[in-house]
Amino acid sequence: MRDKSDIGVIGLATMGKNIALNFLDHGQLVSVWNLESELSSNFNLEFHQDNLFCASTLEEFVNSIARPRRILMMIKAGDPIDQMIYKLKKFLSKGDIVIDGGNTHFNDTQRRHSELEIEGIHFVGMGVSGGESGARYGPSIMFGGSDKAWETLKDQLSIIAAKSDLGTCVTRVGTDGAGHFVKMVHNGIEYGDMQLIAESYDILNRGLKLSPEKISAIFEKWNDGALESYLIELTAVVLSKKDTITEKPMIELILDVAEQKGTGRWAVESALNLGIPIPTIAAAVDARAISSQKASRVIAAQQLRSSSEETNLSTKLDTDLIGQALLAAKLCAYAQGIQLISAGSKAFSWKINLAKSTAVWTGGCIIRAKLLKTIIEALSKTPKVDNLLLAPSLINLVKATTPALRKVNLESIALGIPIPAFSASLAWYDAISSEKLPQNLTQAQRDAFGAHMYERIDEPGKKRHTKWID
């Protein structure tokens, strides 16, 4: 008779299938179940082995797992999660652990954690980064759940997680929604990073008139230095790819419309709710929305742009300057994201260790980068720093790269090249480093039209109202 499984996986689409195979590769006994039975049958036919059990019913699936049961759901976020929990509950026992490994909004995770806790069932919100390859060979894992659930699962998760120079890329971020919150911010930083890379490509292509092949070589060179990262490396590969039919660069044949699944938007919404500005990330979300307005953009380009608006202008930019600007803007994106995690930690009493939580991003995940090690070192030395850019070990790098960011903004704007993430990064940097801002006028206006009162600089802490109009 077959032994009970060490873990069960619900959902055999791309991520579920690959993470199940990852567990099997590491000697785990795995049960799987999928709502569409055809996927389960195909999975069994392709990967049949003694350690795998493909259940035909949900009850059979649950009963095949050793107690306390550990059930990982890799299914679509939203109502399908609630429906699956409802179906599972009738077969579960106290002490069992249900894990949501999808991109779920942290508020939903908090609610589910509270609801199941009453019934003695542990609910875990687990951020999983790395895409198909990560799930198969080692993802970055951000665990949000109880101490008890973590102690039960940490060894199992450690064997399948990515490994980096800093160790195994899995950690308990905090309780209930903490794991999904950190994964949401991770995705927001990813949005910002990707947009900054896209804008760099656009400047090199439209501003410096370089071909995708030459730009690919530039990204390869950047990947040998401070900008080394998975996304920079991937960009070099993408830009070098040729279409087998036309022999043209593949990038030139792809429609300039970027889709999104919502995690970037969630990050922006959460930042607004918590009062944390993340303009680089917000600009990246907006850029994808603008890209979707293709038909409108074509008409506007014909009616609003002069034919000589871009072509008659020269630029003083060079590839090194653009690379330095990209590094500076990336720092801004990370700083904004980390400030958001810190705010979320305080608001929800998660007590997130910023250095440990970002360390799991150094392997397996989409935003793994050389720069992260510098950031983690800074967070380790100054864990309570209000803004990452103010960390003593980063100040010299910030000062060295910001002039390039300013130059790239000036030149790109003159060329008419849209750079929403670059410009948002610089505007944020200038604002946070300005001792005086014009919001004294804003507050005076609020008092003038709405009697909202203001505070005088020579009477700190005291609210006043002025009759502005006679």
pLDDT one-digit tens code per residue, 196-235: 999 999 999 999 999 999 999 999 999 999 999 999 999 9
**Which SS3 state, helix, strand or coil, does residue 126 take?**
strand
Residue 103 among known ligand-binding residues:
yes
pLDDT number for residue 315: 76
Q: Using 50, 70 and 90 to split pLDDT, how confident is the model at 307?
A: low
Identify which has the larger pLDDT, 311 or 284.
Answer: 284
* DSSP label of 130: S
Helices (H), 203-262: 212-222, 230-240
Question: What pLDDT shows up at residue 2?
Answer: 76
- Tell whether 446 is in a known binding site: yes
Q: Which residues contact 203 (CB under 8 A, 6 or more apart)?
A: 317, 322, 408, 412, 415, 417, 419
The answer to whether 305 is a known ligand-binding residue is: no
Q: Is 351 annotated as a binding residue?
A: no
Catalytic residue among 115, 148, 183, 330: 183
Does 115 or 307 have the greater pLDDT score? 115
Say if residue 131 carries a ligand binding annotation: yes
**Which amino acid is present at 423?**
S
Q: Is 452 annotated as a binding residue?
A: yes
pLDDT in tens, 40-96: 999 999 999 999 999 999 999 999 999 999 999 999 999 999 999 999 999 999 999
190 as an active site residue: the answer is yes
Active-site hit among 4, 59, 87, 190 = 190
Mean pLDDT, the chain, integer: 95
Bridge partners of 53? 31
* φ and ψ at residue 142, rounded to 5 degrees: -110, 105
Q: Are 237 and 271 in contact (CB under 8 A)?
A: no
Q: What is the pTM of this model?
A: 0.95
pLDDT of residue 146: 97
Q: Is 37 annotated as a binding residue?
A: no
Annotation-wise, does 191 bind a ligand? yes
pLDDT at residue 314 greater than cutoff 70: no
Active site residue 183: yes
Q: In the predicted model, what is the mean pLDDT of residues 244-271?
A: 94
Ordered by where they begin, the domains of the chain are: 7-175 (3.40.50.720), 184-433 (1.10.1040.10), 437-469 (1.20.5.320)
Confidence band (pLDDT; 50, 70, 90) for 447? Answer: very high
